[in-house]
Structures are given as structure tokens and as C-alpha cells.
Structure 1
Amino acid sequence: MRVLLGGGSGFVGSALTQLLRSRGHGVTLVSRQGGQDRITWEELSHSGLPLCDAVVNLAGENVLNPFRRWDDAFCREVFNSRIETTKTLAKAIAEAQQPPRAWVVVTGVGYYRPSPTAEYTEDSSGGDFDFFSRLVSSWEAAALIPGSPTRGVVVRSGVVLGRGGGAISQMIWPFRLGLGGPMGSGLQPFPWIHIQDLAGIVCHALESESLRGILNGVSPSSSTTSNGTFAHELAAALGRPALLPVPAWVVRAVFGAERASMLLEGQRVVPKRTLESGYKFLFPELSGALKDIVA
């Protein structure tokens, strides 16, 4: 297939590009800068969708960037970087003379209400109780193309674990120094996925002609993983102790109360439809995923 990929130069986009090309697909990135196998967002807006078989959007400002203060300006940037890019691609698909066969958007499990006990599948409700749930609802609404022949899939991703970026890159050095530990109580659910599996699910969605609708992008064992379990497994993979919990007030001071809720609360999410669709996880268990990442 010829795949047009928004946000393809980032952490997940780089992994997905590598996987798609290894499977014989061609990839064109939509980014701020043009170049070989790239077009800019401005070109897309003015010239329309280039001829392609599938479109994927991964674009979005890093919500947990510790160097950005959680203020109104950053909230707007987080919102617009997801909603506006999705709207731009959806509009281009709707107006294309030869629409692509598939359209995949990666959103987040923030759609589901945090709870220590509730378990969520793709059919569970959510989406209207805080900033992040409303963000995901607006994001997914922006991806809708009524009456389009293009098959649509939304992948709600958990915390993405992998080498060289994502959550691990922000945690690895304290843990290497033996200074890592759970955040807050450590009892909150920790919905996670290995980056190779997130890329794999997107690729699976593109290649499965009958697949459409919502898929949960979390590992099968993440519904039983707590933040404390993650901290101890990461420390064990590094051969270090995990003795120093990070108090909730420190997390709130660094990230702001609203953003800290992503770290201090969590959702038990099950990839029910993802498994039923035939996707086989490369890293279903946390210990194996972390050993692969820190090896």
C-alpha cells in the first residue's frame, strides 16, 4: 500500500514507518518540513490528498513534556495539534477523487474514566468528564467522515513503552541510579503497550480489509498492571531497587494537577476487539517488554 502518515517523524511514527516499509508498503510523511517522501501540512491543505491507499494520523504535542507549564496556551496547543491535523486529513480524504481504502487515527485511553476497579473494553462508555476525555472525544469526532467509502479505525493507545522515547526516556535515569519508584500510592492502574505492538496494531488495522471501529491499543496484561508493578518490573529489568516512591504532591508540582491525574490515576483497559480481530501481541507481558527495551 501507499500510506500517508501524519506525525510520522515522532517516536511512534518512526517505529510505524520502519514496520510498514519492512512489510513492503510505501510511506509518505506529512510534517512541518518538506523533503524526500514528505509533504507539508500546508501542501496538503492547498493541494489535497496525494494518491494513496491509506492514511494514518499520529500527530500531537507531547502532553507530558516536563519543560512545558500546564497553562491555557499549552492546553490549546495540545488540543489543536491533534484536532486540527485530524480535521485536515479527514477533509482531504472526504474531498479526494480517489479516496483511500483505510483511515486510522491513534488516540488515547484517557477516553475512559479513571477507576481502580472498573474494566473497560472498546464498547465501554466515557469521553466527557475531564480535559483528556473531552480531548479524545473531540479528536475521534474530528476523524469521522460521514458517507465516505473509506474504512475508519481508531486505536486508543495506552502508555507507549520503547527505546529512545516515550515514557521510558523520562524515567530511565532515576531508575538506573536506584532512585526510581512508584508514583503516589502506586496502586493506580497502568495501561501500557510496547511500541512494536502499537505499530503492529496500526499495521494490522491497515491490512485487515474488514476491520473498522475502535481498537484498544494496550497489552493483554495491562489491566492487571499497577504503577507500582511497573516501577518494580522496570527496576528489576535494570538490576536496581525501586525504593523511593514519588509523592503525589511532587507529581502535581511538576506537571500541574490536571496533567498529574494521568500519572496518579489510571484505567484498567482490555484489548478485547483487538484480540478478537486476530492481532497477536509480540509483548503481552510487562517483564518481557521491559527486558527488550532496556537490554
Structure 2
Amino acid sequence: MRIAITGSTGLIGTALLRSLRATNATRPPEAGTQQPDIVRLVRRPPRGADEVRWDPERQTVDAAGLAGCDAVVHLAGAGVGDHRWTDAYKRTIRDSRVLGTAALAEAIASLDTPPRVFVCGSAIGYYGNTGDRRTDESAPPGDDFLARVCVEWEEAAAPAVEAGIRTVFPRTGLVVGRQGGAWGRLFPLFKLGLGGRLGSGRQYWSFISLHDHIAALRHLIDTEELSGPVNFTAPEPVTNREVTAAMGRVLHRPTPFPVPAPALRLALGEFADNVLASQRIIPRRLLDSGFTFTHPTVDDAIRSALDD
């Protein structure tokens, strides 16, 4: 199988690339195969046959370089929590997702033989603040900034859907990993004994281990019955207070420093509202399709991250 990946240098993309390469290393090459099994979309001039040039902001893709791909996995997008949310950075968050997705969807739809599956990243931000309500893929979108971005992000994949390409939207929760993302920022603080609940701590955090996220991506590629939105969260979301307790248990550190909501808003601006929001998201479609979580609990997920 030939797979193309955007965002291959990010937390999830790096782990997916490592997983695919490990599989390929144990499999004999197919007779007569000339093309690399894995293609990375890059924004600079390609340095080899396994790289394809694209520019998501200018909406250009070297579609010819994607010929022969069985699957395209689209993970690129500006970090939501990387900068304060000025109007300019909110445009960057939106455009990096919507414009890139539209360009990629149009490129693969134009191929004489398009890929059989387009896995287009999305996020549980789609649902907005769900409070303590258990929420699956049938729920409507929220009405905050990230929810609107997610709606546009998924809609931008329309050319692929209309071309008959099976298109799946993994709506990702909080990925538990040490090397990046929101959790990557928590580990150093908790290891120093400086961790604590955020705000009231009663808000639900829908998490997923990095290992399970990669396994779920590969499950989407291989499961012909899956299309549309699929929540990428562990089966039982926990509150931020429970996350704090689990981090303390696993790391054997005290967690004495709660961060009040006003302090978070002062430090993070508008993004603080998303940190304090509650999302109790359930992976209904993953479970119904037969996927099994290796790290279903938050303690399991934290320990897995420490082992990576």
C-alpha cells in the first residue's frame, strides 16, 4: 500500500510515519515496485522520490506526485495553542486547515486513479462545550471559533467526497504524548511538582494515547465501512481534576498548584475558554467498528507516553 502524509513532522505525523516504516521493514517488497511506499508532502523543494511539494496557503499541490497512492492522510495545521489568539493567528489556524484541505481534496479528486481513502484530520473542537453530556458523532457542531473552524475544515474535503473517495474525519481529542501537543506541556510541570487542576477542574477532558491514535488511524485506512466523522478519544473521558490526580499518581509528584480561571484567561487570552470548556466525547463509531483500545484509562495513557 502506498500512503501519502501531510504534517509528517508533527506529533501525530511523526508517530504515524514511524509506525508505517516499522511495518514496511518487516514486509518483503512487492515485485516490480518502483515507487516508495510512503510519500511525505513538504513545503520545500523535494529531496527525493518519497517527497512531494505542496503549499497549503497558496493551495498548490503536485498532484502527479500522488499518483498511485492508495491512501492520503492529512494531518497538517497550525498549532491551536502555540500562540495567543490574535485576529491574525486565528486566520492562520483557520486557513492552514481549510485552504490546505481544499487544495489536497481537489488534487486527489483530479487523479485518473484517485486514492481509495482520504483520512482528513479534524478535532473534537467541532462539538464546542458539551458540559457533562456524553457526546458521540451524531451531535451537531458547537458555535465557538474552533467549532466553526472544524465545520469549514471538514466541508473543504467536499471535492474528494464528490469524486467518490471514501473520506474519513478523525475528530481528535487531547493526545497524551510527551513530545508535543497540550499534554507535552503538562509533563514538565508535573515532573517538577508544579502541576495542578485548571480552573474548577470539573471540566471533562477527552483524551487518547498517542499509541491508540496511530492504531486508530491505521484502522480507518483499513476499514472500508468507515467514512465521515469518527471520534478519536478513549472510551471514558475524565475531568481535569481526575487528570491532575492521575498525573500525580503516575509521576509520583504532588499536585498542589491549581490555576484559577482568571489567571488562565490572563495568560492565554481567548484560548483559555477552550481549556476551561468541558467535552465528554465518546468514540462510538470506533468501538462499533471493532477497534480495541490498548490504553483505555488515563493512567494507562500517561504510562504509555512515559514509555515512548
| TM-score, structure 2 normalization | 0.89
- Other-structure match for 2:246: 233
SS of match in other structure, 2:88 = helix
- Structure 1: distance between partners of 2:180 and 2:16: 14
* Range 171-180 or range 270-279, more displaced: 171-180
Deviation digits for residues 55-77 of structure 1, max 9, x if unmatched?
A: 11100111111xx2311111111
Pairing partner for 1:27 from 35, 38, 59: 38
Partner of 2:292 in structure 1? 280
- Contact 1:32-1:40 within 8 A present in 2 as well: yes
Correspondent of 1:62 among 54, 79, 83: 79
1:105-124 paired onto structure 2 within 5 Å: 105-124=120-139
Shift of 1:47: 3.5
For 2:156, what is the secondary structure of its paired residue?
helix
Contact 1:233 1:287 in 2 (8 A): yes
Contact 2:210-2:305 within 8 A present in 1 as well: no
Gaps of 5+ in 2: 28-36
- What's the counterpart of residue 16 of structure 2? 16
SS at the partner of 1:282? coil
In the TM superposition, residue 271 of structure 1 has moved relative to its aligned partner by: 0.4
What's the counterpart of residue 306 of structure 2?
A: 294
Give SS of 2:293's match.
Answer: coil
Q: Deviations over 1:118-138 (max 9, x none)?
A: 1111111114x1101000000
Change (3 A) 1:143 1:241: same
TM-score (norm 1): 0.93
Inter-partner Cα distance in structure 1 for 2:129 and 2:62: 42
C-alpha root-mean-square deviation of aligned residues, in Å?
1.7
Alpha-carbon distance in structure 2 between the residues aligned to 1:138 and 1:130: 13
Match among 229, 232, 247 for residue 217 of structure 1? 232
Q: Give the residue type in structure 1 aligned to 2:276.
A: L
What is the deviation of 1:46?
5.5
Q: Distance in 1 between matches of 2:62 and 2:125?
A: 34
Distance between the aligned counterparts of 1:40 and 1:228, measured in 2? 44
What do residues 114-165 of structure 1 show as CA deviations (whole Å, max 9, x unaligned)?
13321111111114x1101000000000012343121111110001111322
Identical amino acids, percent of aligned pairs: 35
Q: Relative to structure 2, which stretch is displaced further, 204-213 or 18-27?
A: 18-27
The secondary structure found in structure 2 opposite 1:170 is helix
2:13 is paired with a residue whose SS is helix
Residues 97-119 of structure 1: CA deviation (Å, up to 9, x unaligned)? 11100001111101113133211
Tell whether the 8 Å contact from 1:28 to 1:39 is kept in structure 2 after alignment.
yes
Is 1:142 paired with 2:142? no
SS state at 2:3 partner: strand
* Number of matched pairs: 289
Q: For residue 192 of structure 1, what is the aligned residue in structure 2? A: 207
Q: Which residue of 1 aligns with 2:193?
A: 178
In the TM superposition, what are the counterparts of 1:75-114 in structure 2 within 5 Å? 75-114=90-129
Deviation at 1:209, TM superposition (A): 2.1
Structure 1 residue 42, shift from structure 2 partner: 4.3
Letter in 2 for 1:15: A
Per-residue CA distance 1:175-225 (angstroms, 9 max, x = gap): 112111010000000011111111111111111122212110000122xx0
* AA aligned opposite 2:81: L
Equivalent pair of 1:216/1:272 in contact (CA under 8 Å): yes
